[in-house]
Structures are given as structure tokens and as C-alpha cells.
Amino acid sequence: MAYLETKGLEVSFDGFKAVDGLDFSVNQGELRCLIGANGAGKSTTLDIISGKTRQSAGSILLDGVDITDKHEHHRARAGIGRKFQVPSIFSELTVRENLQLAYSKQTSIRHNIFSWPGSAGRERIEEVVELTGLRDRLDTQASFLSHGETQWLEISMLIIQDSKIILMDEPTAGMTIGETQKTAAIFNSLKGHHTLVVVEHDMTFVREIAEIITVLHQGKLLAEGTVGEIEINPRVQEAYLGSGGISHA
Amino acid sequence: MAINRRSFLKGAAGAAAAVGFPHIWVKDLGQAYASGGEIKVGVLYSLTGTTAVVEKSLHNATLMAIEEINAQGGINGMKITPIVEDPASDPATFSDKARKLVMGDRCVSVFGSYTSASRKAVLPVFEKRRNLYWYPTLYEGRECSKNVIYTGATPNQQQKDFIPWLTENFGKRFFLVGSNYIYPKEENNVCKILLEQLGGEVVGEEYVPLGHSEFSSVLNKIRDTKPDVIFSTVVGDSVIALHRQYKSAGFDPEKMPMASLTTSEVEIAAMGGEYGAGHFTSAPYFMVHESPENEKFVESYKRLYGADSVTHFVSEPAYFQVHLFKQAVAKLAASDISPENIRDAVQGEELMAPQGLVGIDGENLHTNLWPKIAVCQSNGQFKVIKQSAERVRPLPYWAYQGQSCTASGLKGA
Amino acid sequence: MEVFISQIFTGLSIASILLLVALGLAIIYGSMGVINLAHGEFVMLGAYATWFLQQYAGIGLIPSLVLVFLMVGSIGWVIERGIVRHLYHRPLDTILATWGIGIMLQQLVRLTAGAELRYVELPESLSRSVDLLGINFSVYRLFILLVTGLLILLTWLLLMRTEYGTKLRAITQNREMAECSGIDSQRIFGLTFAFGAGLAGVAGSLVAPIKSVSPDMGTHYVVDAFMVVVLGGVGSVAGTAAASGILGEVTAGMAYLLNDTLAKVIVFIAVVMLIRFRPQGLFSQLVRK
Amino acid sequence: MMNSKSLRTLIGYTIFSAAVLLLPLLIDDAYTLNKFSRYLILGLATLGLSLAWGYTGILNLGHAAFFGLGAYCMAMYLKLQTVPVHTGTGGLPDFMVWNNVEQLPWFWEPFHWSYLAITAGIGIPVLLAVMLGWFVFRARIAGVFVAIITLAMLVIINLLLIDQQRYTGGFNGITDLAWLTIGGIEFDPYSKTFYYLSAGSLVVCLLGTGIFTHTKAGLILQAIRNDPDRVRFLGYDVSAYQILAFALSAGIAGLAGMLYAMVLEFASPTFVGVSLSLSMVIWCAVGGRGSLLAATLGAILVNAAQGSLSENFLETWQLILGGFFVLIVLFLPKGLISIGELIRWRRKRTDRVQVQVLSSTKRARGIS
């Protein structure tokens, strides 16, 4: 039974249907890549699943539970983590504070009033910081990080948040080749523990990490399958590859 | 060492703020009030804020009186030194500045306050520190403090002749409009009692927020109820708005005039003669009053503060109460000048004031005054049309049978 | 029946005064996001300018309107160039800066023009009242309605039909993009602030004859003007006009049925409710951020 | 847990608390003690505002409403202690007698007892803050709209206090108050005992709030100021935390209001006035809204300066004050506190220059 499932998902901004009747499902522990041209509805789909935008129709099931009308923080507690296209971190706080906040096992006021930020999740933070190479940046203010480091900070926050399903919106945007490869290594290490939905344009990165790829086109599901199947799929080629192969999408 | 200059700076700033103020080291020596050939008095009128408009003239009148007294050699050779503060039309600042004058500067008396709210705010300071406050403004009465000399008019002094005169000349249907605080409500209580005695009738009673300037709704209600007289206890710059909107609404002062206790030369100057013309005010003093003392008062006030400045029924008491203060202090030897001795010395004291011979009432520290009724003319000046034959005694509890303010406090409450 | 009509007219005249004061603020806050707490002081400066022109230059009310617009507008321009210009990226700090400017303007006027109440004469033709279909209307209130209508039209035309207006609206939507396409936002903001201040000055000179002129008359208007601008929808002239219409009528109606104090309380409660249920204001279209 | 930043803050707190608590040893002039108690109380109110605005990003233009409600609760209690002396009519306050009120309204009944009055003085502002917070933050209203709604609330309370003269004393407010006496101690507003009460309350609140801001909840509040959406996606209920901060800030303001009614010996609608409320925002910004101690110091310094300025510069004190605010905004955007950072930043720059010189000479001599 699929871990995350959307049925007939629809959202329209005064007439224009950004997402049009999308049925889409992801299994436990899988890494699903979501690709498509600009405006195909990739980010909007993530927005709806994470609760940032309200859908006009359709429903969302997480592990069998209907979360269609839940607030963002309820969805987050239910296990949905979201990485934004423009990295959204707490620029005025230090890296360590960002990570401490991400450790949000206990979200109630009663608990958080009587606990220090650093008391819980210390080892978890050490582990992740080791993984993403932010160890020596722990006490610098987040606004002083480079673009790559900011992306990794947000990725580290999502790992620490330990959400069951992580929605990544173009995590490698603006990264160097080396940084992208490092990110691919991190993602591969997450497979199995977490379910990942990654929206990406960089096909070399997609080819590194993808198992199944879903292609969106004008808010509808165009095709689904392995990298090989997608590359030779006529409808995908005709829809937006034009003449050349998939590589320079 | 983790401590560095920054946190030291922050802490030091805190300590400095707490310690480093100029008069911090002043010990409370409790020296006599009149030391070193000078008598310190406080002058507490707002120079900024909403009521600065009127209080600036009280400030001017007080300083003029002090200059006059010092020019004539002061009191038994001692000069009066005014310590001036700006309470900025805010009751909390009034209370703080009153403490500074009474406890910080050890003034032997303070002249101050226009609004009742500011008088109430400073009252505890003068009562607990047994000092003396000189309050020149007409007020709502029902107060019996042993530490305040009231030189303004009480409701009975203002309305006793005024209401009957209005009912005879214009009719018995009154529409009451006032600002929304204790003074207008208390004056209206007195007015209702008088009207009842005269068989009059109150056809409407409206209160507008202080500083209000939109009277269209009130004027619509007046047009509906068609009263004979509009009894106005509106204060401040609302008076100007009311008069101007009355005229532009097309009412005729001949048939339905506005009778007010608070519209003075200051408000008339601000609204322009043609808006005040035909309306009546009852007060103990008008600038046009003919008497040698008044001519001298008006002439020297204009010389000091400009030809277009006006004197009115609040700046006149602010002026003569300083002279009463002088007469009382002159009776005391330098060593036993103290607020309470001045209070006892001033009781029964008489003075030829610009409005006539005034005197402090022996029992309730209020002042016997000469109520007058005047009509405003289009040139912006009042014309006195009725003067009470003899002085009227101040009765702050007139409207409340059985209660009276006596030398030993409130009786029969 | 006439009571009803005169009540409506009272509501309209209150609305016109509210709109006069709020229009300048809608321009400054609406398009520039600057919270100008000195707006009331610009109204006061307009009133004093009218008094000054009348007292020393003998210029009547109507001709002085344009002069006052230019005088207060130039003061606004100087303040924008000197201080407000540095604060565009810190909207909340403009509260502190403009509050400081307001205090200084009040005290400067008190020191120069004196603390006494000043008064502005009304030309004879406007101070009468006239009877239309049996109801008594103050001619001056009708005049204010007329001028307010004219001002809204002028502002609307300026914003919608002139190059300056298009540039201003471009900057309001997206300042960086507007600057990239060559619009000198500094100059436009300077002119806008001056224009808003000029409007407030005209409001001051129109309001002066029906009340008095004193250094602190401005503070009374700031809170009401803010309510109108926020209620009408940020940056929409039509919204501001409609909002002041509604607030004016509600104030007049409540003042007639109850009393002026409760009328104000009810109006403020209504504003809070409207902001709660329609934060983007009554009329501005939902801008998808 | 203690990194260098919070260690520095702790030292700053301790120095300030020591200075404030040791002050009475240097002065025993009644008026000066009373004056400083008043400054400390205004500092306490601004401390509350800094928690809501500086830490959580809630610009509360109506902060004086909570302050004034606290003042009225205490003033009513102290009024009912003096009743028989002044009005002598069956235990009714004077302003009720004047407005021909027969018997004490039910809602003022509990104010005969000090502990009920004190609980109300803090409880009512907190209750109002929770209700208003729930009304505003549940709807995710933010930024300027919150400021406008709080300002409107303030004006409503101010108008009602003035209008309901029978129950609140109207424009004159509640005057002729007794001094608070609890457990045999009489808090005479001109004495050291009262000074210690206000200084003690300020220090306790400062340390308490300081510690609170260092807890996880405190960190969450700062995150909310920075980016509320991201906080939601981490699973925290943002509106609940905003209401928490709003209520805490209101409680502190209520406590400060109660002390203010005692130090001035009266309560008036101007305590719930727009100008006082905006002034609190100004003091908070001048001191530095981001830090509790800085905001408190800002309030104390501006009020002390305003006091002495208006004494010596009668005509121009408002000009100087207005100019001071404008200069602070232009050159010290984060408030006076940022003077420290400015010095440290300049010192760091000079250190770095020295380091370069040092290393280049070492290299030149082939040592490094």
C-alpha cells in the first residue's frame, strides 16, 4: 500500500489549473524524482502536500491517514518535511540554533519551556553535521553561510527533523559540481530510512539517485518509470524534449 | 577571560544611569522654606500638549504678578523665586513635576493646573506633604481639601443668577452639551436642580469626547428638539468647532443662544468675533470690565505679552492669587514661613483684584467673587449686561443639602 | 424624513474630512510602505500655512489651497530627502523616525507661531447655509465635499493616467524590477512623499475653518487616518475613498443614535473585525505573494 | 550550554541588577527614590514589550492597554482602602457618589482584598492578551495589521474608561489612594521599601524572562520572528507560541502598571493613552528591542533624560528629544545597545590589520 498517495489533486489560481487531477503515490523508503518543465506544477504539488497552499479539490493520504485538511504543523508532526526552492533557514540564528530547532520531537509549549535548546538531540546533530560537513560552522550566524552551505543546512535540518517523508525542492540549485555529487551521496545514504520526493532539473544528479521518475506536464501526470524507460518514452520526448535526448532538459 | 569591554560597557551604562544624575547627592536637609533671602514658589502650567493653549496665559499672568511684587521690593525684602516646570498637559507628568517642586525644590507654595484631572493628579502630593496648591480655574466643586486655595468660581457662583436670567429672557427649554468628564456633568447637575426650581425642562443632554471637533450629530439633535437655550460646558478647542458649526448650520443666536460657563476671550479670539456674536457667558471677570485695577492689569499684560493677547476669567485669578499669597506671607516672620502658616494667614484676606474686591472664605479656602453675565459682540469683545449686586459666597457643596466644607473638613457627608 | 437626509449628509461630510486626511497617508503608506506618524503634523502645517497666508499676505482660503499644497509638499520633500530616504528597507523604524519628526514640527510651530489658538477666516460666500428641498445644508461642508471629490479625481488621474503614476505603481509592485528597467525610484519616492504631504496640507487648510488651529491638532487625525487606509486596502485610492465613506456614515449614524464617544468605540470595533476577516482590505485585489 | 554570547548577557544582567539594587545605599532623598522607582517601573513595562516585539516580532502598539488595566486594578484596591476617610458615605468611592451610584458594582467587589486585586492586576491583562492573541494569531494576521489592531484595542479601552465615568472615575481617573500594606509592610512610594519592591520586581522579571528566552521555547519565539512559515513546517504551532509571548508580555506590563499606580498615587485614562503606548515602543527601539536589558535601559535613560531635559530646556526639550529619536534611527538602527557592537566591530577590524602586519613581517623574517 503506497505510503503517500494523492487522489484527483487540483489547484487553480483564478482559472489557471496549476495542478489538474493528479493521482500520484510513493512507497515507503523509496526515492522518487519529480521532473517537468517550468510551470508543470512540481513545486505547487509539494506546496499542497506540505500544506503551504490549499488545494481546490482532491485528497492526500499519508500512511493511510487523510491529511487533506490538516494545518502545516499537524502535517509536519505526521511526518512531512519540506525543503524549499529558495532555502528557508533562520538567518538571524546560528547554525547550531537552526539545528536545535529542527529537532522537533517535542513541539508542546509545556515541554519546551522547561528544557534547554541543547539538552535533546545533541548526538543526532553531531552525526548529521558530520555527514553534511557543517561541523566547523556550528556557531556562525546562518546568514554568513555560502549558498551551498545554506542548502546543506536546510537538508541537515530536515534529516534532524527525522520526517518520514522529505519533500526536496531543487536541493542542488546553485551548487557546484562537487557539491552536487556530495549531495547525491547524502541522498543515497538516506534511502530506506526516509521516503524522499525530489524535484530536480539537473538530470546528471537525477540519474545518480533516481529509482523511479515521475514526469509532470501542465499539472497532469505524463509518465512514470525508471530513467531508461523515461528517456525512450515517446510522449515525454514529444512533450518537451523536442529533438535532443533528455540530458539537456 | 570572557568578560570584555562590551559587557562592562553595558553594565557601567546601567550603573551610570542609576547613579550619575546631578542632584543625586542632595541630602534632605529640611532647611527652612525662606532661606537666603528668597521664597521659592512653583509655577506648574503646561507649555506643551493639548491644554497648553490656555495654560500658557496662566503661566504668563503668574510670572507677571511675581515680577510686579519683586519690583516693589518683594515680601519684607525677600524676593519671590519662581521655579517653572512644563507638565505637558499630562496628569502623570503633573504629578511627577509637583513632587519635584514640593520635595525636590522645597517650594513653599505652587501655582498650577487648569484641568480638574491635573488638579486631582497632584492633590495627593500636596496633602501628604502638607504643602499648598493655588488653583485659579473654575471647577466642579465637591472638593474640600485643606491644602488647596481655590481662586476660581464654584458652580453656584456661576449659575445662581445666570440660569434664572436665561429662563426669563429666552425660555425654559434647555439643551445641555458638554465635554465628557466630571466638570460638565457636575455643572449640569447644578443646572438641572436650578431648572427644576424654576419649572424649566431639560430637552437633551449630550457629551462629546475631549478634543472632539465634529458637532453635526449634536446640532441635528438640537434642530430636532428646538430648545430655547443651549447650555454649553464644552471645553478646549471643541468650543471653537461648536460655535463655527453652529453658525454654518444656520441657527440664530437671537432665538436660541448658546449660554456657556467656559467660553472666554481666548476661545472667542480663536473662533473669530462673528462666530461668538450673540452668545452669552457667565464668569466673575471679563477683559472689558471697567476698574482702575483692571486697566493696569490689562495694560501691563499687553505690554509684556503682545498687543493682541487677551486676559480672561482664568488668567485673572492666576494673577491676583499671587498677590493674595504676598499679603499672607507678609504677615508672617521669615522663620515661620511654611505652607500651613500661609494657609492660615490667607483666610479672610481681602484684595482689590481686577474684577473687584475679592476675599478668601474663612471656612472653605474658596474665594468670594463678583459673577457677571456678558454677551459676545461681533468685534470679539464681551459686553457686560448684568453684574451681581454683591459678592457671592463660594459653596462647593451647594447642590448637596446637608454637606458643607468647613475648616475642619467635610461635614454632614 | 429630512432628519434621515441630513444625517446622510452629516455622514458624507465626516467621510470627506476623513478621506482628505487619509488620502495623503494612503499614497505615502500605500505605495511606499512608510508608516508616517508625522502625517498629522503635515495637516497642522497646512492649517498654519493657511492662517499665515491669510494673516500676513491677505490671501483668501480658496486661492491659498494651491499655495499650501506646494508649501507643505516641499516640506515633505525635504523630510523625505533628508531622513525617510534612508529607511525604506526598515519600515518599522520609520515609526520611530516620523514620531521624532512629528514632535520636532510641533515644537517648532509652537516656538514660532506661538501656543495660542489661531483661526482661519471663512470667506463670506462659504459661511452661509442654504436650504435645498427643505433641508438646511452648510455651504462650506458642500464646498469640502466638492474639493474632496476633485482631489480624489486628481489623485486617480495622476496615478492611473500619468507616466509618473505608472512608474510609482511599478515601484510599489516590485521595486527591484522597476529599478532594473531604469526607473529612478529615489526621485519618484521623493515626489510621492511630497505629494502625500501636500494633500495632508490641503486637508489641514480645509479643516481649519471648522475648528481651531493649534500646534497639537495633528495627533488627533493620525489614528483615524490609519484605520481608513488599512480598511480601504493598502495602496488603493478607491478603497480609501470607500472606506472613509463607510466609516463616516457609521460614525454619523451611531453618534445620532447613541453618543459620539460610543460611536467612536463602535467604529474601532468594526475596523478590528474587518481587518481580522479581510486583512488585505476591502477593495485591493489579492496580490499572490 | 553557555556560549560566549549568553555568558556576556548574564554578566550584563548581574552588573545591572547589582547597580539597581545597591542604588538606595547612595541616595536616601525621598523625591529621588520616588523618581527612580518610576523610571524602573517604566523599564519593566518596556521589558515586556521587548519580549513580544524584540523576540517574537509582534509589534504591539497597544502595550499601554495591559499596563493601564494593571494600574486600574491596583488603584481600585487602594481606593477601597481609603473609602471611609474621604467620602464617608457607606464605603463608596467619591466618583461613584458623584455619579449617584447606590452600591458598589459586582465587578469591583473582589477588589476589597489585596491578593485578589494583585491576581486581577496580572490576570486581566493576560486574559485580554490570550483572547486578543487567539483572535489575531489564529487567523495568521501579521506585521502592520497586528500593530493596527492592538492600537484600535488601546483606543477602545481608553474611550470606554473615559466614558464609563460612574465605574472608572472617567477622565480624572481614580485618585486619593492609600498606600499598599501587605503583611504589615507599608509601601510608602517615597521610601526605600517601595524602591526595593520596584527594583526587585524588575530584577526578578529581567532574570526570569532572560532565562525564558534561553529555553527551547525562547528559541522558538526568535525563530517565529525570523520566519514563521519555516517554524510551522518544523511542526510547531506558531499561533500558540505567539499567544504565549503576548500573554507573558501582557502579564509583565500588568505588574508594571500596578506599581505605576502606587508610585504616582493615582490611575488615569492617560495610562491607556496612545502617546504613552507609542512612547513605550520608542523607548524599546532606542534601547535596542532585540535585547531585554537594552530595552529596559532604553526606557530608563530616555525617561531620565526627558525629566532633566524638560527642567533645563523649558522651551526646546521636545525639539532635542525628537532630534534624538531621529538620530538613533538613522545611525544606531539596533538601538543604543549596538554601540557595543560598533566598538567591538571597529576593534576587530584593527586587530585583523595587526594580524596581517604581524604575519607578513614573520614571513619576511622567515619565522612562520
Q: Is residue C285 part of a domain?
A: no
Average pLDDT estimate for A218-237 = 84
Tell how many helices (H) and how many strands (E) occur in chain B. 14, 17
Q: Verify whether the Cβ–Cβ distance D232 to A115 is below 8 Å.
A: no
**CA gap A111, D277 in Å, rounded:** 33
At residue C223, the pLDDT reads 83
D81 touches chain B (CB under 8 A): no
The domain covering B157-283 belongs, at the CATH homologous superfamily level, to Response regulator (3.40.50.2300)
pTM above 0.80, yes or no: yes
pLDDT for the residue numbered B88: 87
Query: Cβ–Cβ of C260/B56 closer than 8 Å?
Result: no
**CB–CB contact D159 C261 (8 Å):** yes
Chains with ≥3 CB–CB distances under 8 Å to B: C, D
Nearest-Cα residue of chain D relative to residue C275: D145
Q: Which residue of D has its CA nearest to A117?
A: D216
Q: Which residues of D are less than 8 Å from A101 in CB distance? A: 219-220, 223, 231, 234
Listed in order, strand segments (DSSP E) in chain D are 180-182, 185-187
Q: Give residue C150's domain range.
A: 2-277
Q: Residue B42 in contact with residue B85, Cβ under 8 Å?
A: yes
- Nearest to residue A205, comparing CAs of A194, A217, A196? A196
Strands (E), B27-86: 38-44, 79-85
By the CB < 8 Å criterion, does D229 face chain C? no
Q: Which of D211, D213, D216, D237 to mutate to test the interface with A (most CBs of A within 10 A)?
A: D216
CB C101 within 8 A of CB D326: yes
Residues C227, C70 contacting (CB under 8 angstroms): no
- Point out the residue among A71, A88, A107 whose CB comes nearest to the CB of D230: A88
The average confidence (pLDDT) of chain D is: 86
Of D91, D132, D117, D103, the C-alpha closest to D254 is D117
The answer, for D196 touching chain B at a CB cutoff of 8 Å, is no
Could you tell me which of A186, A224, A221 has the C-alpha nearest to residue A205? A186
Q: How many CA atoms lie within 13 A of C251 on its CB side?
A: 28
Closest CA–CA distance from residue B167 to any residue of chain C (Å): 27
A138 touches chain D (CB under 8 A): no
Domains and CATH numbers, chain A: 4-79+163-248 (3.40.50.300), 93-162 (no CATH)
Residue D204, amino acid? V
Contact D216 A77 (CB under 8 A): no
Taking only the tens place, the pLDDT of each residue in A62-100 is: 888 888 888 889 999 888 999 988 888 999 999 999 999
B26 with D266: Cβ contact below 8 A: no
Quote the CA–CA distance of B300 and B51 in Å, as a whole number.
24
Residue A99 grid coordinates: 539545528
- The reply to whether B378 touches chain C by the CB within 8 Å rule is no
How far C84 CA sits from the closest chain B CA (Å)?
25
Backbone angles phi, psi at C215, to 5 degrees: -55, -30
Whether A76 sits inside 8 A of D234 (CB atoms) is: yes
d(CA B188, CA B177): 9
pLDDT above 70 as % of chain D: 90
Position C101 confidence tier, pLDDT thresholds 50, 70, 90: very high
> Can you spell out the DSSP letters for A109-143?
HHHHHTS-TTTSSHHHHHHHHHHHT-GGGTTSBGG
Run of H or E residues at D199: helix D192-214
pLDDT tens for each residue of D190-216: 889 999 999 999 999 999 999 999 999
Q: Which residues of C touch D286 (CB under 8 A)?
A: 96
Percent of chain A whose pLDDT exceeds 70: 96
In terms of CA atoms, which chain A residue is nearest residue D242? A109
Q: Which of B2, B10, B124 minimises the CB distance to D7?
A: B2
User: Cβ C83–D155 below 8 Å, yes or no?
Assistant: no
Is A72 an 8 Å CB contact of chain D? yes
Residues 6+ apart with CB under 8 A from C36: C25, C28, C29, C84, C94, C98, C196
Neighbour-count burial of C182, counting CB atoms closer than 10 A to its CB (0-12 exposed, 13-18 middle, 19+ buried) = exposed
Does ipTM surpass 0.95 in this model?
A: no
Q: DSSP of C44-80, one letter per residue? A: HHHHHHHHHHHHHS---HHHHHHHHHHHHHHHHHHHH
- Taking CB atoms and an 8 Å cutoff, what residues of chain B touch D276? 92
Query: Which is more confident, B41 or D320?
Result: B41
User: Which positions ≥6 away from B66 have C-beta within 8 Å?
Assistant: B41, B80, B82, B322
What whole-number percentage of chain A has pLDDT above 90? Answer: 8
Interface check for B267 against chain C (CB to CB < 8 A): the answer is: yes
Pick the range with the lowest mean pLDDT from A32-36, A212-216, B291-295, C235-239. Answer: C235-239
Q: CB-based contact (8 Å) between C251 and chain D? A: no
State how many domains chain C has: 1
Here the CATH number for the domain that contains residue C34 is 1.10.3470
d(CA C227, CA D151): 10
The grid cell for B184 is 460638565
Q: What's the Cα-to-Cα distance from A60 to each of A55, B358, D88, rounded to whole Å?
A: 10, 89, 72
Mean pLDDT value of segment A110-138: 87
Q: Are D125 and D55 in contact (CB under 8 A)?
A: no
Is C211's CB within 8 Å of B237's CB? yes
Chain mean position to CA B213: 23
* Minimum CA–CA partner of D156 in chain C: C265
Report the residue of chain B nearest C9, measured CA to CA: B216
Give the pLDDT band (50/70/90) at residue C220: confident
**Chains touching C, CB cut-off 8 Å, 3+ pairs:** B, D
**How large is the average pLDDT for residues D259-278?**
92
Mean pLDDT of D104-114: 87
User: Any residues with CB less than 8 A from the CB of A15 and at least 6 apart, and which?
Assistant: none
Q: Would you state the pLDDT for residue D89?
A: 53
Cβ distance D265 to B95 less than 8 Å, yes or no, reads: yes
C112-163 confidence digits (pLDDT tens): 887 777 878 877 777 777 877 777 788 888 888 899 999 989 988 988 888 8
Are C49 and C64 in contact, with CB atoms under 8 Å apart? yes
Dihedral in degrees, nearest 10, Cα atoms D222, D224, D225, D229? 150
- Pick the range with the lowest mean pLDDT from A135-139, D67-71, D91-95: D91-95
Supply C200's cell numbers: 495632508
Q: Return the DSSP state at B309.
A: -
- pLDDT, tens only, D167-191: 888 888 898 888 888 888 888 888 8
Quote the cell numbers at residue B290: 471697567
Q: Which residues of chain B have pLDDT under 70?
A: 1-32, 34, 412-413
Considering chain C, what percentage of its residues have pLDDT values greater than 90? 16
Taking CB atoms and an 8 Å limit, are B182 and D170 in contact across chains? yes
**What are the respective helix, strand and coil percentages of chain A, to the nearest 5?**
40, 25, 35
Name the residue among A90, A106, A108, A88 with its Cα closest to residue A98: A90
Chain A residues with CB-CB distance to D216 below 8 A: 100, 111-113, 115-117, 119
Query: Would you say residue C289 lies in a domain?
Result: no
| Amino acid A243: pLDDT | 41
Give the per-residue pLDDT at D145.
83
Inter-chain CB proximity B99 and D31 less than 8 Å: yes
User: Taking CA atoms, what residue in D is nearest to B184?
Assistant: D171
Handedness of CA C110, C116, C117, C123 (dihedral sign): negative
Which pLDDT tens digit goes with each residue over C34-64? 888 899 999 999 999 999 998 888 888 888 8
Which chains contact D through at least 3 pairs of Cβ atoms less than 8 Å apart? A, B, C
Distance of CA C10 to the CA centre of its chain: 19
Taking the CA atoms of residue D132, residue C223, residue B115 and residue B318 in that order, the dihedral angle to the nearest 10 degrees is 150
**Cβ pair C262:D324 closer than 8 A:** no
Distance of CA B413 to the CA centre of its chain: 26
> Do the beta carbons of residue D23 and residue D194 sit within 8 Å?
no
